[in-house]
Amino acid sequence: MPKYLFRLLSFSFILAAVPVSLIGIISYIIASGDIEDKVKEGNMQVLLQTQMRVEQALKTLELTSLQFVNSPTVTSSLNEELGYDDFSKLRDLSKGLYNLQTFTSVREAYFVNLNKDWMVSFSIFRKFSTYPGHEQFASYAKYPNSLFWITKSPKTDEAAKKPDNAKIPDEAAETDDGSGGETSSSSPPALRMVYKIPVIPMTSQPKGLLIVEILNSQVKALLSNNKKLGDVSVLDSEGQNFLLDDSETDSNAEIHALVAEKVRETGEDSGFFNAYVHDEELGVTYRSSSYNGWIYVSVVSIEDITKQSKKIAWVTFIACIVIFILVALVAFYGSRRMYSPIKRLFEFTKDIQVEGQEHKDEFDSIEQRFRTLFSTEQQLQQQVKGQFTQLKEFFVLKLFTGQLSDGDLAYRSQMFGFPTEWNRLGVITVQIDTLQEGKYRDHDKELLLFAINNMVGELIAQQERFSPILLEQSQVTLLICNLEDDAACKEYFFRTAEMIREKIREYLHLPISIGISRPFDRATEASRAYGECLEALKCRISLGNEIIIHYDDIDAGKKDMEMTVYTQLKLLEDQLINAVKLGDTERVDGVFDKYIGVIVEKGIHFNEYPVLMMQLISKAFQLVQEQGGAVKKVLGDKATIDHFIKLSTLEEIVKWFKVELFEPIIGFLNTQAESQYVNIANQMVKLVHERFDQEISLEACATILSFHPVYLSRVFKKEMGINFSEYLAEYRMNMAKTWLETTNLKISEIAEKLNYTNTTAFIRTFRKIVGMTPGQYRDQYNKK
């Protein structure tokens, strides 16, 4: 499949598939969240209904029990000591207890007279103190509330101390079996409601108690049995599920403890949270009752909640797949229709050869082919335009070199679009004065001339000039003037040159000078006019930089120089060469400045100074050759006569002499001198070591080495750091110390061996150098 067709098809499919996928995912998330929220709300409603049913039953029992304890029969019996013969009283009390079962199935009810020590239940009457559970019953009297409920935990035998969450011990939870108050240990678990009598106590110790027992199963029957909404449990404040039978275990004990802790910490009456138990995620809904502190809990599996969500997910997934298939079919058909014009264009351009790497797709290939076409066209246009510009410049160059005839000029001018009619012509030539004071360097000169040439082409209108060109180190322009008078033409040429100089100074910050030729009629005279401009620019030697000068304004005649000028220049040349030999750079600069000053101040014509200076250059070259050096190797490529001839300003000439000529020569001579100094000094040291016992002096060394004594003295002092005579004396005294240490020669004999005719002179010299006499030195050495 073509790349772009594949991309178009993929893009179309993705463009439709992404919204469908997002809608499906968002729909599933929203539906899942709504289902979970609905389950939460349903569980909370179930818990509320369950709580209301349970509390309604408990409150009904409490109200019936309250009517009983406030009845005259109960009130009057509190102060009576009843026995088995008080049948009518006991019947009335038993009847009242039986009436409590109108609300629900009450397992047992006890009316206890604490003061008179008797008790009545559904089936017995007996002494309270003889009842097996009398201690537990008696402990209820200590509870602070007049009415409270006692729950039973199947996991403990200890009673709780709080009235709303107390625990019934096993023996106290047993029901009466009708055999004298004995209880059975196999009775099912039950809740106890306890009323203190009287309900409004006058003292801290009640007179009697009403204890009503309800089976846990009866309360459990009031709970919701809708398993789809989870398991409903009732907890006490400690998180114990007190409605469980003794044989049952609390499978959600961890959840119940967590709920109780959460209620205690947050104090919230209701809430919902998720918890993980045995790697199963559970949703827990709870409500805390302000009536008796019981906590109603619903625990449901999140997996059960999300079953409906998974159905929605599958339905959404199937719907998305169907939509994807439809979108793919539409995308494929539409993409092929859209791709057909691209295919035709691709086939149309396939014959265009494109070099390079493999293309990404058809569009990229078509783009590269069109780019190749446009690039080829632009290259052709640029080549034609560039060649045309080069031909125009070449034509003007031939004009300035005198290689065109009048006939060729007329034909070529019309072909290249040059002016064909004029009254007068003139040539202006621009040269850069110096680069030393600006931000440019020597290697920037060609680029700067190119920039000047472009600026001249923009500053002067095309109909007022021929093409500006670069010729050697100059920018040359052939100007057209339609004025009749030569003076007016010269004025026009001057204004044009002044405009060029100001613009170059403004934009390039360059000092330039401009030479202007005499006005002429025939364009073929441009070669002569260019020469006049160069002659005019040579006046910078005497007039300075940044000048605009006409050829007519210079003195073209050759002045006769006085003999004194030649003599003065000859003297300065000799002084310069001597200063160079001595390596005195400051003296070289000072004498050369005087030399240039004589040329400028004495009015030497600009055509004469190159000849005079070449004599100085020749002497400098000769000096290098005399010292055994090669001129080109010592001075480099710039220190040549050809390079010197091309210099046009006084600053360039001075810089060339000082930097390119004198400085390398001085460095070369100093190197040669240092090498020669070391050699001479070594030879003198060798003579001292060989002839210390003979008559040897500086003059003797000069005779042997063929140098002047003064020169040898200066060289030895420079290289050795001491005078020749001092070095000779020290060496002789070192030899004397060696003989004093190793031989028994007399001091006079040592003096004679060292060529001292006077022993006293030897001793005086030894004491001066060593610090003691020879005898003292020998005695001191022998003591060691």
pLDDT of amino acid 381: 64
677 or 233, which is more confident: 233
The fold for domain 70-220 equals Beta-Lactamase (3.30.450)
Say if residues 638 and 656 touch (Cβ distance below 8 Å): yes
Alpha-helical segments (H) within 248-306: 253-266, 302-305
Using N-to-C axis directions, what is the helix angle for 698-705 and 663-691, rounded to 10°? 120
Separation between Cα atoms, residue 614 and residue 641, nearest integer Å: 8
DSSP one-letter string for 518-586: --BS-GGGHHHHHHHHHHHHTTHHHH-SS-EEEGGGS--SPPPPPHHHHHHHHHHHHHHHHHHHHT-HH
Say if residues 248 and 154 touch (Cβ distance below 8 Å): yes
442 or 515, which is more confident: 515
* pLDDT classification of 378: cutoffs 50, 70, 90: low
Phi, psi (deg, nearest 5) at residue 427: -120, 135
Examine the pLDDT at 8 and tell me if it is beyond 90: no
Residue pLDDT, tens place only, 621-642:
787 776 666 777 777 777 777 7
In residues, how long is the chain? 784
pLDDT of amino acid 577: 78
What are the tokens at 528? Answer: 């002569």
pLDDT of amino acid 436: 64
Burial of 37 (0-12, 13-18, 19+ CB in 10 A): exposed
What are the tokens at 334? Answer: 């539409």
pLDDT of amino acid 781: 82
pLDDT of amino acid 564: 57
Residue pLDDT, tens place only, 483-511:
888 888 988 988 999 999 899 888 888 88
Separation between Cα atoms, residue 250 and residue 257, nearest integer Å: 11
Examine the pLDDT at 776 and tell me if it is beyond 80: yes
Separation between Cα atoms, residue 151 and residue 132, nearest integer Å: 19
Phi, psi (deg, nearest 5) at residue 147: -130, 130
Angle at CA of residue 482, ends 476 and 486, nearest 5°: 80
Range from 72-81, 326-335, 401-410 that averages highest in pLDDT: 72-81
Taking residue 493's Cβ as centre, other Cβ atoms within 10 Å add up to 24
Separation between Cα atoms, residue 640 and residue 596, nearest integer Å: 19
* pLDDT classification of 428: cutoffs 50, 70, 90: very high
DSSP one-letter string for 65-89: HHHHHTSHHHHHHTT----TT-HHH
pLDDT of amino acid 156: 36
Residue pLDDT, tens place only, 513-542:
899 999 998 888 888 888 888 888 877 766
Say if residues 183 and 84 touch (Cβ distance below 8 Å): no
Architecture of domain 227-305: 2-Layer Sandwich (3.30)
Alpha-helical segments (H) within 401-525: 406-416, 445-459, 486-507
Separation between Cα atoms, residue 228 and residue 301, nearest integer Å: 9
- Sheet with 166-167, edge to edge strand ranges: 125-127, 118-120, 106-113, 208-215, 190-197, 147-151, 166-167
Examine the pLDDT at 112 and tell me if it is beyond 90: yes
329 or 543, which is more confident: 329
What are the tokens at 316? Answer: 């959404």
pLDDT of amino acid 359: 61
pLDDT of amino acid 160: 35
Taking residue 468's Cβ as centre, other Cβ atoms within 10 Å add up to 23
Q: Quick one: how far is CA 765 from the chain centroid?
A: 79
361 or 414, which is more confident: 414
Q: Quick one: how far is CA 13 from the chain centroid?
A: 39
Do the domains at 70-220 and 227-305 have one common CATH topology? yes
Say if residues 454 and 511 touch (Cβ distance below 8 Å): no
> Among 270-284, 309-323, 471-485, 666-680, where is mean pLDDT lowest?
666-680
pLDDT of amino acid 120: 92
> Among 181-190, 271-280, 347-356, 410-419, where is mean pLDDT lowest?
181-190
DSSP one-letter string for 174-213: PPB-SSTT-B-TTPPPEEEEEEEESSS-SSSS-SEEEEEE
What are the tokens at 55? Answer: 């509390």
Residue among 603, 609, 602 at smallest CA distance from 654: 609
pLDDT of amino acid 426: 92
Residue among 117, 167, 122 at smallest CA distance from 140: 167
Examine the pLDDT at 362 and tell me if it is beyond 70: no
Contacts of 778 (CB under 8 A, 6+ apart): 740, 741
What are the tokens at 530? Answer: 């260019």
Average pLDDT score over residue span 395-409: 81
Average pLDDT score over residue span 595-620: 71
pLDDT of amino acid 164: 41
27 or 378, which is more confident: 27
> Among 386-390, 469-473, 714-718, where is mean pLDDT lowest?
386-390
Cα(first)–Cα(last) distance of the chain, in Å?
A: 110
Question: Given the DSSP bridges, would you call strands 280-288 and 295-301 parallel, antiparallel or unpaired?
Answer: antiparallel
Question: Given the DSSP bridges, would you call strands 295-301 and 231-235 parallel, antiparallel or unpaired?
Answer: antiparallel
596 or 733, which is more confident: 733
Residue pLDDT, tens place only, 38-58:
777 878 888 888 888 888 888
The fold for domain 675-783 equals Arc Repressor Mutant, subunit A (1.10.10)
pLDDT of amino acid 606: 56
pLDDT of amino acid 677: 60
Residue among 698, 431, 465 at smallest CA distance from 540: 431
* pLDDT classification of 87: cutoffs 50, 70, 90: confident
pLDDT of amino acid 604: 59
pLDDT > 90 fraction of the chain, expressed in percent and rounded: 5
Examine the pLDDT at 736 and tell me if it is beyond 80: yes
> Among 341-350, 354-363, 569-578, where is mean pLDDT lowest?
354-363
Separation between Cα atoms, residue 58 and residue 148, nearest integer Å: 11
Average pLDDT score over residue span 580-595: 79
Examine the pLDDT at 210 and tell me if it is beyond 70: yes
Examine the pLDDT at 168 and tell me if it is beyond 50: no
* pLDDT classification of 155: cutoffs 50, 70, 90: very low
Alpha-helical segments (H) within 636-744: 641-645, 650-655, 663-691, 698-705, 709-720, 724-742
pLDDT of amino acid 110: 92
What are the tokens at 286? Answer: 């709870």
Phi, psi (deg, nearest 5) at residue 146: -80, -30
Q: Where are the domains of the chain?
A: 70-220, 227-305, 386-553, 675-783
* pLDDT classification of 211: cutoffs 50, 70, 90: very high
Helix (H) or strand (E) segment spanning residue 370: helix 362-400
**Which CATH number is 386-553 given?**
3.30.70.270
Q: Quick one: how far is CA 658 from the chain centroid?
A: 51
Phi, psi (deg, nearest 5) at residue 404: -120, 145
Average pLDDT score over residue span 430-436: 81
Examine the pLDDT at 119 and tell me if it is beyond 90: yes
* pLDDT classification of 429: cutoffs 50, 70, 90: very high
Average pLDDT, the chain: 78
